[in-house]
Structure 1
Amino acid sequence: MEITGRLTADAQVRTLSDNRQVVNFSVAVSDSYKAKSGERITQTEFFDCSYWIATGIAQYLTKGTIVELAGRVSARAWVDAEGQPKAGLNFHTSKITLHGGGAATDKAQPVNQTAAGAAPVHEAEVVPNGTAPDDDLPF
Protein backbone atom coordinates (compact mmCIF):
# COMPACT_ATOMS: atom_id res chain seq x y z
CA MET A 1 0.00 0.00 0.00
CA GLU A 2 1.18 3.53 -0.69
CA ILE A 3 0.19 6.72 1.11
CA THR A 4 1.24 10.34 0.71
CA GLY A 5 0.90 12.77 3.57
CA ARG A 6 2.52 15.41 5.75
CA LEU A 7 4.53 14.71 8.91
CA THR A 8 2.78 16.01 12.03
CA ALA A 9 6.00 16.21 14.10
CA ASP A 10 9.72 15.49 13.82
CA ALA A 11 10.61 11.80 13.67
CA GLN A 12 12.11 10.13 16.73
CA VAL A 13 14.62 7.29 16.86
CA ARG A 14 13.96 4.82 19.67
CA THR A 15 16.29 2.10 20.89
CA LEU A 16 14.55 -1.01 22.15
CA SER A 17 15.74 -3.23 25.01
CA ASP A 18 17.40 -5.62 22.53
CA ASN A 19 19.37 -2.66 21.02
CA ARG A 20 17.35 -2.60 17.78
CA GLN A 21 16.48 0.90 16.59
CA VAL A 22 13.27 2.13 14.99
CA VAL A 23 12.25 5.48 13.51
CA ASN A 24 8.78 6.54 14.66
CA PHE A 25 6.77 9.35 13.08
CA SER A 26 3.18 10.36 12.40
CA VAL A 27 1.69 11.25 9.02
CA ALA A 28 -1.59 13.03 8.24
CA VAL A 29 -3.28 11.99 4.98
CA SER A 30 -6.09 14.25 3.79
CA ASP A 31 -8.78 13.51 1.22
CA SER A 32 -11.51 15.85 0.11
CA TYR A 33 -14.67 15.45 -1.90
CA LYS A 34 -17.79 17.42 -2.79
CA ALA A 35 -20.94 16.33 -0.97
CA LYS A 36 -24.36 16.19 -2.64
CA SER A 37 -25.17 19.48 -0.94
CA GLY A 38 -22.22 21.09 -2.79
CA GLU A 39 -20.20 21.45 0.38
CA ARG A 40 -16.48 20.53 0.23
CA ILE A 41 -15.73 17.81 2.81
CA THR A 42 -12.16 17.12 3.94
CA GLN A 43 -11.27 14.00 5.90
CA THR A 44 -7.89 13.52 7.53
CA GLU A 45 -6.54 10.18 8.71
CA PHE A 46 -3.50 9.92 10.96
CA PHE A 47 -1.02 7.06 10.68
CA ASP A 48 1.57 6.18 13.33
CA CYS A 49 4.52 5.01 11.22
CA SER A 50 7.53 2.84 12.00
CA TYR A 51 10.64 2.40 9.87
CA TRP A 52 13.13 -0.30 10.88
CA ILE A 53 15.60 -0.26 7.98
CA ALA A 54 17.90 2.74 8.57
CA THR A 55 17.78 5.42 11.26
CA GLY A 56 19.73 8.00 9.24
CA ILE A 57 16.54 9.06 7.46
CA ALA A 58 15.17 10.48 10.74
CA GLN A 59 17.05 13.78 10.32
CA TYR A 60 15.07 14.47 7.13
CA LEU A 61 11.68 13.54 8.58
CA THR A 62 10.74 16.90 10.06
CA LYS A 63 7.37 18.41 10.82
CA GLY A 64 5.58 19.55 7.67
CA THR A 65 7.60 17.42 5.24
CA ILE A 66 5.51 15.73 2.54
CA VAL A 67 6.37 12.03 2.30
CA GLU A 68 5.32 9.17 0.08
CA LEU A 69 5.38 5.86 1.94
CA ALA A 70 5.08 2.26 0.87
CA GLY A 71 4.38 -0.51 3.34
CA ARG A 72 1.53 -2.22 5.10
CA VAL A 73 -1.19 -0.84 7.31
CA SER A 74 -2.68 -2.35 10.46
CA ALA A 75 -5.36 -1.20 12.89
CA ARG A 76 -5.14 -1.16 16.67
CA ALA A 77 -7.68 -0.69 19.44
CA TRP A 78 -7.25 0.01 23.15
CA VAL A 79 -8.96 1.45 26.20
CA ASP A 80 -7.43 4.65 27.59
CA ALA A 81 -6.84 5.49 31.27
CA GLU A 82 -10.38 6.89 31.58
CA GLY A 83 -11.94 3.73 30.18
CA GLN A 84 -12.74 5.22 26.77
CA PRO A 85 -12.27 3.01 23.71
CA LYS A 86 -9.69 4.31 21.23
CA ALA A 87 -8.52 3.19 17.79
CA GLY A 88 -5.65 4.07 15.48
CA LEU A 89 -3.78 3.09 12.33
CA ASN A 90 -0.19 1.84 12.17
CA PHE A 91 1.88 1.98 8.99
CA HIS A 92 4.86 -0.40 8.81
CA THR A 93 7.02 1.50 6.33
CA SER A 94 9.34 -0.23 3.85
CA LYS A 95 10.05 2.73 1.52
CA ILE A 96 10.20 6.47 2.13
CA THR A 97 10.33 9.17 -0.56
CA LEU A 98 10.65 12.78 0.59
CA HIS A 99 8.87 15.48 -1.38
CA GLY A 100 9.95 18.51 0.67
CA GLY A 101 7.94 21.09 2.54
CA GLY A 102 9.53 20.73 5.99
CA ALA A 103 12.73 21.94 7.64
CA ALA A 104 14.64 19.14 5.84
CA THR A 105 14.52 21.07 2.58
CA ASP A 106 16.93 23.60 4.09
CA LYS A 107 19.37 20.85 5.17
CA ALA A 108 19.79 18.64 2.11
CA GLN A 109 18.38 17.28 -1.11
CA PRO A 110 15.49 14.78 -1.02
CA VAL A 111 16.38 11.21 -0.07
CA ASN A 112 14.81 7.97 -1.30
CA GLN A 113 15.51 5.05 1.03
CA THR A 114 14.27 1.51 0.47
CA ALA A 115 14.65 -1.88 2.06
CA ALA A 116 17.74 -2.46 -0.08
CA GLY A 117 19.47 0.40 1.78
CA ALA A 118 20.47 3.91 0.84
CA ALA A 119 23.65 3.00 -1.03
CA PRO A 120 23.35 1.71 -4.60
CA VAL A 121 24.61 -1.77 -5.33
CA HIS A 122 27.07 -2.11 -8.20
CA GLU A 123 27.53 -5.44 -9.91
CA ALA A 124 30.88 -6.51 -11.32
CA GLU A 125 31.09 -6.93 -15.08
CA VAL A 126 31.56 -10.56 -16.07
CA VAL A 127 33.73 -11.05 -19.16
CA PRO A 128 33.99 -14.49 -20.83
CA ASN A 129 37.44 -16.19 -21.08
CA GLY A 130 39.09 -13.59 -18.84
CA THR A 131 39.35 -10.97 -21.60
CA ALA A 132 39.13 -7.28 -20.82
CA PRO A 133 35.92 -5.43 -21.73
CA ASP A 134 35.98 -3.38 -24.92
CA ASP A 135 36.06 0.24 -23.67
CA ASP A 136 35.91 1.94 -27.06
CA LEU A 137 32.21 1.25 -27.61
CA PRO A 138 30.21 4.43 -28.38
CA PHE A 139 27.49 3.65 -25.80
Structure 2
Amino acid sequence: MAGVNKVILLGNLGSDPEVRTLPSGGKVVTFSIATSESYNNKEGVRVEQTEWHRIELWDNLANIAEQYLKKGDTAYIEGRIRTEKWTDKENIERTTVKIRANTLQLVGGRRGGESTESGGQSSYAGNSGSSNNYAPKAAPVPMPPPPDLAGGNSDDLPF
Protein backbone atom coordinates (compact mmCIF):
# COMPACT_ATOMS: atom_id res chain seq x y z
CA MET A 1 0.00 0.00 0.00
CA ALA A 2 1.44 3.38 -1.01
CA GLY A 3 0.85 6.69 0.69
CA VAL A 4 1.88 10.31 0.76
CA ASN A 5 2.78 12.22 3.90
CA LYS A 6 3.37 15.84 2.86
CA VAL A 7 2.50 19.04 4.66
CA ILE A 8 2.73 22.59 3.29
CA LEU A 9 2.33 25.49 5.71
CA LEU A 10 2.63 29.26 5.44
CA GLY A 11 2.32 30.97 8.78
CA ASN A 12 3.77 33.20 11.46
CA LEU A 13 6.11 32.08 14.23
CA GLY A 14 4.51 32.24 17.66
CA SER A 15 7.85 32.31 19.48
CA ASP A 16 11.58 32.46 18.85
CA PRO A 17 13.03 29.11 17.75
CA GLU A 18 14.19 26.82 20.58
CA VAL A 19 17.63 25.37 19.85
CA ARG A 20 18.96 22.06 21.23
CA THR A 21 22.44 20.75 20.55
CA LEU A 22 22.71 16.97 20.51
CA PRO A 23 25.66 15.03 22.00
CA SER A 24 26.69 14.22 18.41
CA GLY A 25 27.03 17.96 17.70
CA GLY A 26 23.91 18.16 15.51
CA LYS A 27 21.19 20.69 16.16
CA VAL A 28 17.42 20.51 16.44
CA VAL A 29 15.26 23.63 16.33
CA THR A 30 11.58 23.65 17.28
CA PHE A 31 8.99 26.42 17.08
CA SER A 32 5.28 26.86 16.52
CA ILE A 33 3.65 28.37 13.45
CA ALA A 34 0.14 29.80 13.39
CA THR A 35 -2.00 29.47 10.27
CA SER A 36 -5.33 31.26 10.04
CA GLU A 37 -8.37 31.09 7.82
CA SER A 38 -11.45 33.29 7.73
CA TYR A 39 -14.99 32.39 6.78
CA ASN A 40 -18.56 33.57 7.29
CA ASN A 41 -20.62 31.42 9.66
CA LYS A 42 -24.34 30.61 9.24
CA GLU A 43 -25.29 33.98 10.73
CA GLY A 44 -23.04 35.80 8.23
CA VAL A 45 -20.53 36.81 10.90
CA ARG A 46 -16.87 36.78 9.86
CA VAL A 47 -14.97 34.15 11.89
CA GLU A 48 -11.19 33.69 11.98
CA GLN A 49 -9.87 30.27 12.97
CA THR A 50 -6.22 29.82 13.94
CA GLU A 51 -4.36 26.48 14.05
CA TRP A 52 -0.99 26.00 15.74
CA HIS A 53 1.60 23.62 14.27
CA ARG A 54 4.76 22.42 16.01
CA ILE A 55 7.72 22.52 13.58
CA GLU A 56 10.99 20.59 13.92
CA LEU A 57 14.14 21.35 11.87
CA TRP A 58 17.42 19.40 11.92
CA ASP A 59 21.09 20.17 11.23
CA ASN A 60 21.67 22.84 8.54
CA LEU A 61 18.01 23.86 8.40
CA ALA A 62 18.20 24.22 12.19
CA ASN A 63 21.25 26.47 11.81
CA ILE A 64 19.40 28.65 9.28
CA ALA A 65 16.31 28.89 11.48
CA GLU A 66 18.43 29.73 14.53
CA GLN A 67 20.20 32.50 12.64
CA TYR A 68 17.32 34.09 10.71
CA LEU A 69 13.93 33.32 12.31
CA LYS A 70 12.33 35.32 15.12
CA LYS A 71 8.89 35.50 16.70
CA GLY A 72 6.35 37.01 14.29
CA ASP A 73 8.31 36.15 11.11
CA THR A 74 6.43 34.53 8.24
CA ALA A 75 7.82 31.20 7.02
CA TYR A 76 6.86 28.67 4.36
CA ILE A 77 7.42 25.08 5.50
CA GLU A 78 7.26 21.77 3.66
CA GLY A 79 7.64 18.52 5.54
CA ARG A 80 5.88 15.46 6.88
CA ILE A 81 3.71 14.70 9.89
CA ARG A 82 5.40 12.84 12.76
CA THR A 83 3.45 11.46 15.71
CA GLU A 84 5.41 10.68 18.88
CA LYS A 85 4.07 8.86 21.94
CA TRP A 86 5.69 9.39 25.32
CA THR A 87 4.98 9.02 29.03
CA ASP A 88 5.02 12.10 31.26
CA LYS A 89 6.22 12.41 34.88
CA GLU A 90 2.82 11.29 36.21
CA ASN A 91 3.06 8.13 34.10
CA ILE A 92 0.35 9.32 31.68
CA GLU A 93 0.81 8.39 28.03
CA ARG A 94 0.86 11.49 25.78
CA THR A 95 0.90 12.02 22.03
CA THR A 96 2.62 14.89 20.23
CA VAL A 97 2.13 15.74 16.56
CA LYS A 98 5.02 17.58 14.87
CA ILE A 99 5.91 18.64 11.36
CA ARG A 100 9.45 17.54 10.49
CA ALA A 101 10.40 20.13 7.89
CA ASN A 102 12.65 19.41 4.92
CA THR A 103 12.10 22.79 3.22
CA LEU A 104 12.15 26.23 4.79
CA GLN A 105 11.44 29.43 2.90
CA LEU A 106 11.88 32.76 4.65
CA VAL A 107 9.07 35.08 3.52
CA GLY A 108 9.41 38.86 3.73
CA GLY A 109 12.35 41.23 3.72
CA ARG A 110 15.39 41.15 5.95
CA ARG A 111 15.36 43.11 9.17
CA GLY A 112 16.50 46.69 8.90
CA GLY A 113 14.50 47.38 5.74
CA GLU A 114 16.74 45.46 3.34
CA SER A 115 15.09 43.00 1.01
CA THR A 116 16.65 39.87 -0.43
CA GLU A 117 17.46 39.62 -4.13
CA SER A 118 14.77 36.99 -4.64
CA GLY A 119 11.93 39.39 -3.89
CA GLY A 120 12.09 39.03 -0.14
CA GLN A 121 12.28 35.23 -0.05
CA SER A 122 15.09 32.81 0.70
CA SER A 123 14.66 29.06 0.21
CA TYR A 124 16.42 26.12 1.81
CA ALA A 125 15.66 22.45 1.22
CA GLY A 126 16.85 19.16 2.57
CA ASN A 127 18.21 16.40 0.36
CA SER A 128 15.77 13.66 -0.56
CA GLY A 129 18.15 11.01 0.80
CA SER A 130 18.19 9.74 4.35
CA SER A 131 21.09 11.93 5.49
CA ASN A 132 20.47 15.27 7.12
CA ASN A 133 22.74 17.29 4.80
CA TYR A 134 20.89 20.34 3.52
CA ALA A 135 21.66 22.75 0.72
CA PRO A 136 20.02 25.94 -0.52
CA LYS A 137 17.54 25.62 -3.38
CA ALA A 138 18.76 27.10 -6.65
CA ALA A 139 17.31 30.45 -7.65
CA PRO A 140 15.09 30.44 -10.74
CA VAL A 141 16.81 31.27 -14.01
CA PRO A 142 15.26 34.27 -15.82
CA MET A 143 13.87 33.50 -19.28
CA PRO A 144 14.97 35.67 -22.23
CA PRO A 145 12.26 37.80 -23.82
CA PRO A 146 10.42 36.18 -26.75
CA PRO A 147 11.65 37.11 -30.24
CA ASP A 148 9.81 39.90 -31.99
CA LEU A 149 7.75 38.08 -34.62
CA ALA A 150 5.99 41.24 -35.82
CA GLY A 151 8.54 41.57 -38.65
CA GLY A 152 6.82 38.67 -40.40
CA ASN A 153 9.98 36.83 -41.53
CA SER A 154 8.99 33.20 -40.96
CA ASP A 155 12.45 31.98 -42.04
CA ASP A 156 13.80 33.10 -38.64
CA LEU A 157 11.44 30.85 -36.68
CA PRO A 158 13.20 28.00 -34.83
CA PHE A 159 10.61 25.38 -35.89
Which residue does the alignment assign to 2:16?
10
Quickly say closer, same or farther: Cα 1:11–1:34, change in 2 above 3 A: same
Count of residues paired in the alignment: 118
RMSD between aligned residues: 2.9
Which residue does the alignment assign to 2:100?
92
Q: In structure 2, how many angstroms separate the alpha carbons of the residues matched to 1:21 and 1:35?
A: 44
Which residue, 37, 56, 63 being the options, matches 2:71?
Answer: 63
Quickly say closer, same or farther: Cα 1:16–1:108, change in 2 above 3 A: farther
Per-residue Cα deviation, 1:23-81 (whole angstroms, up to 9, x for no partner): 21111111111111101111111111111141133221111111111001235577877
Given that 1:53 and 1:115 are in contact with CA atoms closer than 8 Å, whether structure 2 keeps it comes out as no
How high is the sequence identity, in percent, across the aligned residues?
Answer: 30
Which residue does the alignment assign to 2:49?
43
Q: Secondary structure at the match of 2:136?
A: coil
Q: TM-score, normalised by structure 1?
A: 0.68
Quickly say closer, same or farther: Cα 1:80–1:105, change in 2 above 3 A: same
Q: In structure 1, how many angstroms separate the alpha carbons of the residues matched to 2:122 and 2:99?
A: 19
Higher relative contact order (CA 8 A, sep 6+): 1
Q: In structure 2, how many angstroms separate the alpha carbons of the residues matched to 1:84 and 1:6?
A: 31
Which ranges of structure 1 fall in alignment gaps of 5 or more residues?
Answer: 121-139
Which residue does the alignment assign to 1:118?
136
Given that 1:8 and 1:64 are in contact with CA atoms closer than 8 Å, whether structure 2 keeps it comes out as yes
Q: In structure 2, how many angstroms separate the alpha carbons of the residues matched to 1:33 and 1:119?
A: 35
Q: Secondary structure at the match of 1:105?
A: coil
Q: TM-score, normalised by structure 2?
A: 0.60
Q: In structure 1, how many angstroms separate the alpha carbons of the residues matched to 2:87 and 2:46?
A: 33
Quickly say closer, same or farther: Cα 1:89–1:39, change in 2 above 3 A: farther
Which residue does the alignment assign to 2:3?
none
Letter of the 1:20 counterpart: G
Per-residue Cα deviation, 1:1-27 (whole angstroms, up to 9, x for no partner): 211100011112211233321121111
Q: In structure 2, how many angstroms separate the alpha carbons of the residues matched to 1:78 and 1:32?
A: 34
Q: CA deviation at 1:105?
A: 2.7
Q: In structure 2, how many angstroms separate the alpha carbons of the residues matched to 1:14 and 1:43?
A: 31
Q: In structure 2, how many angstroms separate the alpha carbons of the residues matched to 1:44 and 1:76?
A: 23
